[in-house]
Amino acid sequence: MNLSLNQRIKEFEQHLRTERRLSPHTTSNYSRDLKKLTFWCSKKSLIEPEQLDSQNIRECLMTLHREGLGGRSIQRWLSSLRTFFNYGLKNQWISFNPADGIVAPKSPKKLPKTLDVDQVNQFLSLSATSWIDYRDHAIIELLYSSGLRLAELADLNLTDIDLKEATITVTGKGRKTRQLPVGSQALKAVKYWLKHRQELKSTGLQAMFLSLQGRRLSPRSIQDRLKKISVRQGMQGKVHPHMLRHSFASHLLESSGDLRAVQELLGHQNISTTQVYTHLDFQHLAKVYDKAHPRAGRKKSS
């Protein structure tokens, strides 16, 4: 007897958790994408994965697109489907991958929103009057200093930072670890936070950042804290963790022009991702301007 699509998806999710050891966040993303497929299939009375062909996947894709799902989201959805069906091929409960060869509709690329240096300084100039302030200051300094992803920051443990060497070890996508430098201002903020952290009721947790209840601070809580700080610091819009990561990458690239180094620091597998992420290579633009504009009037460096 063939298993249903829902049963196969549960089997696949177990495989992601136990065999591939993917993070709960990544596993949740796969589950969310596959639920879109099962919802569409239930309307079409398609119960088993063996019933699905490429035309079904295309029809489901077009439905999602009409409902407003963007090109990049559909691209990720297709990637999740391919991974799921490849798992089915490996375990021999399907004979072909119905998602292969299907391309997501293109969507216009959006440039990432960044803060300029003055805006970053405005956002980081927090006056600390409580342990929560010291914690929040350390959070935003680390995000900007080392270009961390939100999940990487939330997963930090006390043992991940080396105060003497001014480095931090983070676990990124695909459970890959990388070591990053920590700037002097961020290091100072972390030291202040760790001092005040000792004053909290001991929970035995190794989490770097704790909540009022003494639990590991969740990604959602970190996002909410940054929104509140945005209002408190008089920012024009809400600052979110990824905006600080964008700003880190953009400012570093503007100053160094070293795309490969920025790629390593961000933990990107492909440099094309970094090119989209950082979007502005100021030194390159300046050289083009100096060379091409008849009235540039800029002093040439020797």
Query: Does some domain include residue 82?
Result: yes
The yes-or-no verdict on residue 105 having pLDDT over 90 is no
The pLDDT of residue 291 is 67
Catalytic residue ranges: 149, 173, 242, 245, 268, 277
Indicate whether 153 and 271 sit together in one domain: yes
In this prediction, residue 294 carries a pLDDT of 65
Helices 24-43, 71-90: crossing angle, 10 deg rounding: 90
What separation in angstroms does the CA of 154 have from each of 16, 91, 140, 223, 247?
A: 21, 35, 12, 11, 19
**Is 106 contained in some domain?**
no
Query: In this prediction, what percent of the chain has a pLDDT beyond 70?
Result: 88
- pLDDT tens-digit map of 139-153: 999 999 999 999 999
User: Would the pLDDT of 286 be above 80?
Assistant: no
Residue 278 has pLDDT above 80, yes or no: no
139 plus 212 within the same structural domain: yes
CA distances from 164 to 23, 24, 161, 181, 225 (A): 30, 32, 9, 11, 29
Q: Do 139 and 200 share a structural domain?
A: yes
Q: What percent of the chain has pLDDT over 90?
A: 63
Q: What is the CATH number of the domain that holds 156?
A: 1.10.443.10
Whether residue 132 is found in the same domain as residue 86: no
Which two three-digit tokens encode residue 104? Answer: 């997501």
Please determine, for residue 297, whether its predicted confidence score (pLDDT) is greater than 60.
Answer: no
> Domain check: are 176 and 261 in the same one?
yes
Full-model pTM: 0.60
Residue 295 lies in a domain: no
Domain coverage including residue 246: 117-284
Q: The CATH number of the domain where 33 resides is what?
A: 1.10.150
Token pair belonging to 300: 């040439």
Confidence at residue 300, expressed as pLDDT on a 0 to 100 scale: 47
Which of the two residues, 295 and 60, has the higher pLDDT score?
60
Domains of the chain: total:
2
254 in the same domain as 150? yes
**110 has pLDDT over 90:** no
Residues 252 and 122 in one domain: yes
Is 174 inside a domain boundary?
A: yes
Q: How confident is the model at residue 16 (pLDDT cuts 50, 70, 90)?
A: very high
Q: Are residues 57 and 124 in the same domain?
A: no
